[in-house]
Amino acid sequence: MSSRDAFLLRIDPKVLAALRRWADDDMRSVNAQVEFLLRRCLREHGRWKADEGEEPARAPKRGRPRKE
């Protein structure tokens, strides 16, 4: 198991309540939801170097979607 660092996060109560509801919907703990969202955001903005076995970082799609 990999080691984890802990840190204190001060967060608006309304934001935390919304995050709890979202985590419940996704069957995750609040901590796992925060980490999931941070990783997704980091990947979308090219700030996350993928570890072995993980999806590679991709730039977000820009512009209008193609017409079919």
Q: What are the per-10-residue average pLDDT scores of the chain (68 residues)? A: 84 97 95 94 86 54 67
User: For position 36, what pLDDT does the model report?
Assistant: 94
Supply the pLDDT for residue 60.
Answer: 52
Close Cβ partners of 33 (under 8 Å, ≥ 6 residues apart):
19, 22, 23, 26
Q: How far is CA 43 from CA 46, 55, 57, in A?
A: 5, 9, 5
What is the pLDDT at residue 4?
A: 83
| pLDDT of amino acid 61 | 58
CA dist 21 → 29, 51, 52 (Å): 10, 29, 32
Other beta carbons less than 10 A from residue 3's beta carbon: 4
**How high is the pLDDT of residue 63?**
66
pTM above 0.75, yes or no: no
* Residue 63 C-alpha from the chain's centroid: 23
